[in-house]
Amino acid sequence: MSTFSLDDLREIMRQSAGVEAGVDLDADITDIEFIELGYDSLALLELAIQVKRKYGVSIPDDDVVDMTTPRIAVEYINRQLVGAEV
């Protein structure tokens, strides 16, 4: 079973929207809201596109809005990956 990690999310965040000045993605960002990390709704939609492309996980727009922190995003993506393997 494959899992999606915080490091996987960090990589996609760097690739899809870059890193805002003053934000350290290597720090403990688990429970920091995406907006505080400089990722607005458009950046999160791009992140969802990259997750679909790389991991085959579709994230509906309504669910993207509910993913407010990296922890929530990683948990959501892992639930989808587990569901896809059943």
Give the Cα separation of 39 and 79 in Å (integer): 23
Calculate helix-pair angle for 6-17, 41-55, nearest 10 degrees. 120
- Per-residue pLDDT reduced to its tens digit, 41-64: 899 999 999 999 999 999 999 999
Residue corresponding to tokens 């939609």: 45
- Of 3.40.50.720, 1.10.1060.10, 3.20.20.70, 1.10.1200.10, which CATH number belongs to 6-18+29-85? 1.10.1200.10
Whether the predicted pLDDT of 81 surpasses 50:
yes
The residue-averaged pLDDT of 56-75 equals 94
Instruction: Output the six-digit token pair for 23.
Output: 């934000």
pTM value is 0.87
- Residue positions counted in the chain: 86
Give the Cα separation of 44 and 1 in Å (integer): 25
Give the Cα separation of 11 and 22 in Å (integer): 17
